[in-house]
Amino acid sequence: MLLTGAEIVIECLKEQGVDTVFGYPGGAILNVYDELYKHSNEIKHILTSHEQGASHAADGYARSTGKVGVCFATSGPGATNLVTGIATAYMDSVPMVAITCNVNVPLLGKDSFQEIDIAGITMPITKHNFIVKDVNDLADTIRRAFRIAKKGRPGPVLVDIPKDVTANKAEYKTQRIEPVLRVTETIREEDLEEAAALIQKAKKPYIFVGGGAVISDCSDELREFVDKVDAPVCDTLMGKGAFNGTDERYTGMLGMHGTKTSNLGVSECDLLIAVGVRFSDRVLGNAKKFAHHAKILQFDVDAAEINKNIMVTNSVIGDLKKILARINPMLSPMEHKEWMEHIMEYKKEYPLSYHPEGLSGPFVIEEIYRQTNGDAIMVTEVGQHQMWAAQYYKYKRPRTLLTSGGLGTMGYGLGAAIGAQIANPDKQVINIAGDGCFRMNMNEIATAVRQKLPLIEVIINNHVLGMVRQWQTLFYEKHYSATVLDDGVDFVKLAEAMGATGYRATSQAEFVDILKKALASSTPVVIDCIIDSDDKVWPMVAPGAAISEVFTEEDLK
402 bridge partner residues: 379
Does residue 213 lie in a domain region? yes
Closest CA to 538 of 354, 368, 285, 408: 354
Alpha-carbon torsion, ordered 22, 26, 30, 34, to 10 deg: 50
Name the catalytic one among 163, 240, 260, 321.
Answer: 163
Q: Look at residue 496 and give its three-state secondary structure.
A: helix
Name the catalytic one among 42, 113, 452, 553.
Answer: 113
Residue 199 CA, distance from chain mean position: 30
* Contact residues for 491 (Cβ-Cβ < 8 A; gap 6+): 435, 438, 442, 459, 461, 502, 504, 526, 528
Does residue 356 lie in a domain region? no
Average pLDDT over residues 136-159: 98
Q: Do 46 and 97 share a domain, yes or no?
A: yes
* Tens-digit pLDDT profile for residues 250-307: 999 999 999 999 999 999 999 999 999 999 999 999 999 999 999 999 999 999 999 9
Structural domain ending residue among the three candidates 171, 200, 229? 171
Q: Evaluate the omega torsion of the peptide bond into residue 539 and state whether it is cis, within 30 degrees of 0.
A: yes
Helix crossing, 320-327 with 189-201: angle to 10°?
A: 60
Q: How confident is the model at residue 376 (pLDDT cuts 50, 70, 90)?
A: very high
pLDDT greater than 90 at residue 518 = yes
HSE-CB for 403 with a 13 A CA cutoff: 30
Please state the φ and ψ torsions of residue 462, each to the nearest 5 degrees.
-110, 5
Q: Do 342 and 367 share a domain, yes or no?
A: no
Does residue 553 lie in a domain region? no
What's residue 30's pLDDT?
A: 98
pLDDT greater than 90 at residue 359 = yes
Q: What percent of the chain has pLDDT over 90?
A: 99
Q: Do 373 and 488 share a domain, yes or no?
A: yes
What's residue 259's pLDDT?
A: 98
Say if CB 384 and CB 436 are below 8 A apart.
no
357 is catalytic: no
Number of domains in the chain: 3
Say if CB 472 and CB 496 are below 8 A apart.
no
Q: Do 339 and 420 share a domain, yes or no?
A: no
Q: Do 326 and 380 share a domain, yes or no?
A: no
163 is catalytic: yes
Alpha-carbon torsion, ordered 120, 122, 125, 130, to 10 deg: -80
What's residue 140's pLDDT?
A: 98
Q: How far is CA 226 from CA 33, 268, 455, in A?
A: 49, 18, 35
* Tens-digit pLDDT profile for residues 409-449: 999 999 999 999 999 999 999 999 999 999 999 999 999 99
Helix ranges, 202-303 (H): 211-215, 219-229, 260-268, 281-284
Q: Do 34 and 78 share a domain, yes or no?
A: yes
113 is catalytic: yes
Does residue 178 lie in a domain region? no
Does residue 536 lie in a domain region? no
Does residue 544 lie in a domain region? no
* Tens-digit pLDDT profile for residues 449-504: 999 999 999 999 999 999 999 999 999 999 999 999 988 999 999 999 999 999 99
Q: How confident is the model at residue 347 (pLDDT cuts 50, 70, 90)?
A: very high
Q: Do 137 and 42 share a domain, yes or no?
A: yes
Q: Do 345 and 390 share a domain, yes or no?
A: no
Name the catalytic one among 51, 305, 381, 444.
Answer: 51
Q: Do 337 and 366 share a domain, yes or no?
A: no
Geometric angle at alpha carbon 431, from 425 and 432, rounded to 5°:
160
Name the catalytic one among 91, 387, 440, 467.
Answer: 467
pLDDT greater than 90 at residue 19 = yes
For residue 264, the enclosing domain spans 189-349
What's residue 557's pLDDT?
A: 84
Q: Parallel, antiparallel, or unpaired for β 271-275 and 205-209?
A: parallel
Structural domain ending residue among the three candidates 318, 349, 380? 349
Query: What CATH number is given to the structural domain containing 500?
Result: 3.40.50.970
* Tens-digit pLDDT profile for residues 208-230: 999 999 999 999 999 999 999 99
Query: What CATH number is given to the structural domain containing 337?
Result: 3.40.50.1220
Q: Do 228 and 344 share a domain, yes or no?
A: yes
Q: Do 160 and 255 share a domain, yes or no?
A: no
Say if CB 165 and CB 3 are below 8 A apart.
no
Does residue 176 lie in a domain region? no
- The DSSP string of 31-77 is HHHHHHHHTTTTSEEEE-SSHHHHHHHHHHHHHHHSSPEEEEE-STH
- The DSSP string of 352-398 is ----SSS--HHHHHHHHHHHHTT-SEEEE-SSHHHHHHHHHS---ST
pLDDT greater than 90 at residue 188 = yes
Q: What percent of the chain has pLDDT over 70?
A: 100
114 is catalytic: yes
User: Residue type at 50?
Assistant: H
Does residue 289 lie in a domain region? yes
Closest CA to 91 of 156, 152, 180, 183: 156
Q: Do 329 and 394 share a domain, yes or no?
A: no
